[in-house]
Amino acid sequence: MGSNIPKAIYSNQSNFLIRGDGMKVSEIMTKSPVTLGPSATARDAAEIMKKENLGTVLVAEKEHLEGIVTDRQISTKVVAEGKDPARIKVSEFMTKNPVTASPDMTVEDAARIIGKNRFRRVPVVQGERLMGVVSAADIADHARSCNVCMNNLFDELSKSKAQR
């Protein structure tokens, strides 16, 4: 498969050829993500999101990932249902057992997860320990030096759209 492209990794997954530079998620992830505890309220989550300019907050107890909360969940599962954001705990409406990446996963595999699921961010977990978060923006920054990485993300987004 092309010795003219050194340091490339080839694999045949999902019926198409994927080539990337082998960079690991641990090299591009945010290592200290914004988190809150499961007893925090929807209002607490919204305030953190506003302060930090985020649409997603990870829910963790010590270093163990419990779930993930998005701004959309607050608006649809709390506000639109007439619940009091100051009284509803995030543990009542968060996504439990979210899809995760591992720090040793390649950036290309993380891009595939993000694209396939139409996520903006994916928590990075090793064993039971929350290590960080990787975002589509992190991957896009990496893609500036790895065009194949961005092509994988676009391929998966296109497949996701076609399946709707």
Question: In CATH, what number is assigned to the domain containing residue 75?
Answer: 3.90.1280.20
Whether 46 and 83 map to the same domain: the answer is yes
Instruction: Give 140's pLDDT tier (boundaries 50, 70, 90).
Output: confident
Domain count within the chain = 2
Q: What is the pLDDT of residue 143?
A: 77
This prediction's pTM: 0.75
Same-domain status, 74 and 106: no
Q: Kindly state the tokens that stand for 138.
A: 């992190």
Q: What is the pLDDT of residue 20?
A: 58
On whether both 129 and 91 belong to a single domain, the answer is: no
Q: How many CA atoms lie within 13 A of 7 on its CB side?
A: 5
Q: Give the span between the Cα atoms of 129 and 126, in whole angstroms.
A: 5
> For a pLDDT cut of 90, what percent of the chain falls above it?
63
Residue 60 domain-assigned? Answer: yes
Q: Return the pLDDT at 123.
A: 97
Note whether residue 3 is domain-resident: no
Within a 10 A sphere around the Cβ of 114, how many other Cβ atoms? 24
Residues 120 and 140 occupy one common structural domain: yes
How high is the pLDDT of residue 9? 32
Structural domain containing residue 48: 30-98
The reply to whether 110 falls in a domain is yes
Q: Which of these three, 98, 127, 150, is where a domain ends?
A: 98
Q: How many residues does the chain have?
A: 164
Q: Are residues 39 and 73 located together in one domain of the fold?
A: yes
Same domain, 118 and 65: no
Helix boundaries (H) for the chain: 42-52, 71-73, 107-117, 136-143, 147-163
The DSSP H or E segment spanning 68 is strand 64-70
Residue 101 has pLDDT above 70, yes or no: yes
Strand 64-70 and strand 56-61: pairing?
A: antiparallel
